[in-house]
Amino acid sequence: MTSNGARTVLVVEDEPAIRGLLCMVLEAEDYKVTTAEDGEDALDQVQHEKPDAILLDLMLPKMDGWAVIDSLYHNSKTDGIPIITVSAGPRYKHVGEQNVKGFLSKPFDLDTLMVVLEDALKLPRLDAV
């Protein structure tokens, strides 16, 4: 959490319009938002400021979302961050593994996004125990 109590969400999305919409919606709900355009940038962002949750597109340039999930999961400093995957593709059976707490299929409903995010943030982080 940031010093003012707002939770930080990292939005990893290569489509500028979707990334902008997610930022606008989350900021309106008093979240602090950081962004990344690809998987490599996402991993860099996590090293600078560990977010409370990650909204992660699965189909990204440079490094796809699955590789990001795998990297975060195998790092003891980041393996407790709840991840919500976002994809236009089919729902994958791997959701629920490696700290993936939810799946949103594009196009998604913004109310559903907030419910899934709030549910993910209610779960205790592994590094907070």
Residue 127 lies in a domain: no
pTM of the model: 0.84
Residue 59 included in any domain: yes
How much is the pLDDT for 44? 94
Q: Is residue 58 part of a domain?
A: yes
| Residue 2 lies inside a defined structural domain of this protein | no
Residue 29's CATH number: 3.40.50.2300
Chunked mean pLDDT (size 10), the chain, 129 residues: 72 94 93 95 92 93 90 88 82 59 80 88 54
Is there a domain that residue 33 lies in? yes
Both tokens assigned to 102: 């939810």
| 52 assigned to some structural domain | yes
Q: Up-side HSE of residue 22: CA atoms within 13 Å toward CB?
A: 30
DSSP state of 82: -
Residue at 129 is within a domain: no
Report how far apart, in Å, the C-alpha atoms of 93 and of each of 7, 80, 98, 102 are.
28, 20, 12, 12
Domains held by the chain: number: 1
**Residue 59 structural domain:** 8-121
Query: Does the residue 35 lie in any domain?
Result: yes
